[in-house]
């Protein structure tokens, strides 16, 4: 049995820790203890330390079912935003090489992609970020503890090292920032043969012919860059793509991916996965439209059918922290507070919060200011912009068309839209049928903008600026009076003048 000890070398039991905690001065080991070393947790801890408080971060990564491990920084740094964007960019470079010939570049075709070279470069960059986060914590005087934490009570955490050594820590305030992990199905035999997004970015060799099961943004982004690297890639969709996003835009994204070379199996659900003697994986699935069983073999199968919050192993019941039994997320209030006093939750683990890195960072910083500064500012989760980094990017901020109709009624909203062709596509003779913009507005008065949706190159860069306008309650009349930068894709947003209600052709045909 592993030894149980108190932090700082003091020996004792959980009861001894509780007695010390309730002593005459009521002191704790830390003013703030953050469980989770992802973007939100790191931001919160570093901000709190600037108030001169004693702060620690517990971070421990359980290996994926396939055994993949990584360092400090959470999902975004290691198995999310950073490696995803770099692989997406790498795939776009391949497309640019094909375009370059039309612009006079003498590049012998076809070109070949070396997965191992790309993977090593990206993995080395991620490792440099892991080290950078540790240095930043040290510089800010935040104690980093590579321990897996579980609650003993509302102020006491038991940390366990990779060697099984256990440590008791007490804190006046505790922040939960453990994020989520990919969901593996329990009802599909052979699921253990598959990888997830926790593994794809750490593969040393090409995954080869790949099936991605699930049409979340994670699934479509990964399928997109795999196709871009010239790999035979398929996506299996049970119901709808990009659930929670505007569905007209989602369909345009998948339409482009089909034209890009990604196969999409619509209305299909996996039944079982078998490992063949040649090492390939044979997937058996049911086509829900025809009720027919189908099968095909792949080199790699990747699950991308959702994420599960990391709450199960925290012993939250001992701290009386309430979770939603359906989502397993922590129930929080406007100030990120949980049902237990002095315990907070930020990021993907918190119920009703967007599963995005920037809101978690902002929420963590604001929480530190409220706890240790004189601030009362709460995180504003309205109009948070995001982008899906599929081969043709989709950026959005605000309400989807479906949500606007549900809230306000179809007669009270106006939708301006346009199909356009980026100038760069003309010489390259690229298809632009899915390049599309729409803004959702209130129909009356100056027509307050409720949502903005953009599909096209560099969508994230385009939407970021318009997100500021949304925060300032921008109206359609203000948008229309703004002069665009020519020639850009972003200027097409300022030029929107045709409504869906009019029934007119919304194709942009000239300058």
What's the CA gap between 148 and 160, in Å, rounded? 5
pLDDT at 19 over 60: no
User: Nearest to residue 83, comparing CAs of 139, 122, 124?
Assistant: 122
pLDDT of residue 510: 66
Q: Find the distance separating the first CA and the last CA of the chain, reported in whole Å.
A: 75
Provide the pairing of β-strand 307-309 with 233-237. unpaired
What's the CA gap between 440 and 496, in Å, rounded? 11
Three-class DSSP category at 117: helix
What's the CA gap between 137 and 143, in Å, rounded? 7
Homologous superfamily of domain range 392-494: FAD/NAD-linked reductase, C-terminal dimerisation domain (3.30.390.30)
- The CA distances from residue 382 to 41, 245, 390, 472, in Å, are 21, 15, 24, 12
Domain segments of the chain as ranges: 4-60+146-182+308-372, 191-304, 392-494
Tell me whether residue 486 is one of the annotated catalytic residues: yes
Banded pLDDT at 508 (limits 50, 70, 90): confident
- Edge-to-edge order in the sheet of strand 210-213: 195-196, 300-303, 210-213, 233-237, 263-266
Examine domains 4-60+146-182+308-372 and 392-494 and report if their fold is the same.
no
Q: What is the mean pLDDT of residues 234-250?
A: 98
Residues ≥6 apart with Cβ < 8 Å to 65: 184, 192, 196
pLDDT of residue 72: 97
Protein fold of 191-304: FAD/NAD(P)-binding domain (3.50.50)
Per the document, the length of the chain is 511
pLDDT of residue 253: 98
What's the CA gap between 465 and 50, in Å, rounded? 30
Banded pLDDT at 16 (limits 50, 70, 90): very low
Q: In the chain, pLDDT over 90 holds for what percent of residues?
A: 93
Q: What is the mean pLDDT of residues 102-122?
A: 95
Decide: 31 and 372 in contact? Cβ < 8 Å.
yes
Task: Write out 261-307 in H/E/C secondary structure.
Answer: CCEEEECEEEEEEEECCCCCEEEEEEECCCCEEEEEEECEEEECCCE
What's the CA gap between 80 and 111, in Å, rounded? 27
Residues ≥6 apart with Cβ < 8 Å to 452: 396, 397, 398, 438, 439, 440, 463, 466, 470, 493
Residue 51 CB neighbour total at 10 angstroms? 14
Q: In the chain, pLDDT over 70 holds for what percent of residues?
A: 95
The class that CATH gives domain 4-60+146-182+308-372 is alpha beta
Q: What is the mean pLDDT of residues 177-188?
A: 96
pLDDT of residue 7: 38
pLDDT of residue 27: 86
Banded pLDDT at 12 (limits 50, 70, 90): very low
The two tokens of residue 88 are: 């997406």
Three-class DSSP category at 9: coil
pLDDT at 254 over 90: yes
Mean pLDDT, the chain, whole residue set: 94
pLDDT of residue 286: 98
Residue burial 6-45, b: 16+ Cβ < 10 Å; e: rest:
bbeeeeeeeeebbebbeeeeeebbbbbbbbbbbbbbbbbb
User: Nearest to residue 227, comparing CAs of 241, 249, 204, 211?
Assistant: 211
Q: What is the mean pLDDT of residues 70-94?
A: 97
pLDDT of residue 297: 98
pLDDT in tens, 331-361: 999 999 999 999 999 999 999 999 999 999 9
Banded pLDDT at 109 (limits 50, 70, 90): confident
Q: Comparing 16-20, 139-143, 401-405, which segment has the lowest mean pLDDT?
A: 16-20
What is the pTM (predicted TM-score) of this model? 0.93
Banded pLDDT at 17 (limits 50, 70, 90): very low
User: Nearest to residue 107, comparing CAs of 97, 116, 117?
Assistant: 97
Q: What is the maximum span of the chain, computed from C-alpha positions, in angstroms? A: 80
What's the CA gap between 373 and 292, in Å, rounded? 62
- The CA distances from residue 74 to 81, 93, 141, 500, in Å, are 10, 27, 20, 42
pLDDT at 9 over 50: no
Q: What is the mean pLDDT of residues 244-273?
A: 98
Q: What is the mean pLDDT of residues 76-103?
A: 96
Q: Which helix (H) or strand (E) holds 356?
A: none
Q: What is the mean pLDDT of residues 446-458?
A: 98
């Amino acid at each position: 049995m592993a030894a149980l000890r108190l932090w700082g070398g003091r020996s004792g039991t959980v009861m001894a820790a509780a007695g010390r905690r309730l002593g005459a001065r009521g002191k704790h080991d830390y003013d703030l203890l953050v469980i989770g070393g992802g973007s939100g947790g790191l931001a919160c801890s570093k901000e709190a330390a600037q108030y001169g408080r004693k702060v620690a971060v517990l971070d421990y990564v359980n290996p994926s079912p396939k055994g993949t491990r990584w360092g400090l920084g959470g999902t975004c740094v290691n198995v999310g935003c950073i490696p995803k964007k770099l692989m997406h960019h790498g795939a776009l470079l391949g497309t640019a090489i094909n375009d370059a010939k039309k612009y006079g570049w003498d590049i012998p075709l076809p070109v070949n992609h070396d997965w191992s070279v790309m993977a090593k470069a990206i993995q080395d960059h991620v490792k440099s970020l892991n080290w950078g986060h540790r240095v930043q914590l040290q510089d800010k005087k935040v104690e980093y503890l590579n321990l897996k934490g579980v609650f003993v009570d509302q102020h006491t955490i038991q940390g366990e090292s990779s060697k099984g050594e256990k440590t008791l820590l007490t804190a006046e305030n505790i922040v939960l920032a453990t994020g989520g992990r990919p969901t593996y199905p329990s009802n599909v035999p052979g699921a253990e043969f598959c990888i997830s997004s926790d593994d794809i970015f750490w593969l040393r060799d090409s995954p080869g012919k790949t099936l991605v099961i699930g049409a979340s943004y994670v699934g479509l982004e990964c399928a997109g860059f795999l196709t871009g690297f010239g790999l035979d890639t398929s996506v299996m969709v049970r119901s709808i793509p990009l659930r929670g996003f505007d569905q007209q835009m989602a369909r345009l994204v998948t339409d482009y991916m089909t034209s890009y070379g990604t196969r999409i199996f619509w209305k299909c659900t996996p039944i079982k996965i078998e490992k063949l003697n040649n090492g390939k994986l044979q997937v058996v699935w049911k086509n829900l439209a025809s009720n027919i069983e189908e099968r095909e073999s792949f080199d790699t199968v990747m699950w991308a059918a959702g994420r599960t919050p990391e709450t199960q192993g925290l012993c939250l019941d001992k701290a009386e922290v309430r979770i939603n039994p359906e989502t397993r997320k922590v129930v929080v209030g406007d100030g990120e507070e949980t049902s237990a006093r002095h315990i907070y939750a930020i990021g993907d683990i918190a119920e009703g919060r967007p599963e995005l890195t920037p809101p978690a960072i902002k929420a963590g910083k604001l929480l530190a200011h409220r706890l240790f500064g004189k601030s009362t500012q709460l995180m504003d989760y309205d109009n948070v912009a995001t982008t899906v980094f599929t081969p043709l990017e989709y950026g959005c901020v605000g309400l989807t068309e479906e949500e606007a109709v549900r809230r306000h009624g179809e007669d009270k909203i106006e939708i301006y839209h346009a199909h356009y062709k980026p100038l760069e596509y003309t010489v390259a003779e690229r298809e632009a049928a899915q390049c599309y913009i729409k803004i959702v507005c209130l129909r009356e008065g100056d027509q307050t903008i409720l949502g903005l949706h953009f599909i096209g190159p560099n969508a994230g860069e385009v939407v970021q600026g318009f997100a500021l306008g949304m925060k300032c309650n921008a109206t359609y009349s203000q948008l229309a009076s703004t002069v665009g930068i020519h020639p850009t894709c972003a200027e097409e947003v300022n030029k929107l003048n045709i409504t869906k209600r009019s029934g007119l052709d919304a194709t942009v045909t000239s300058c």
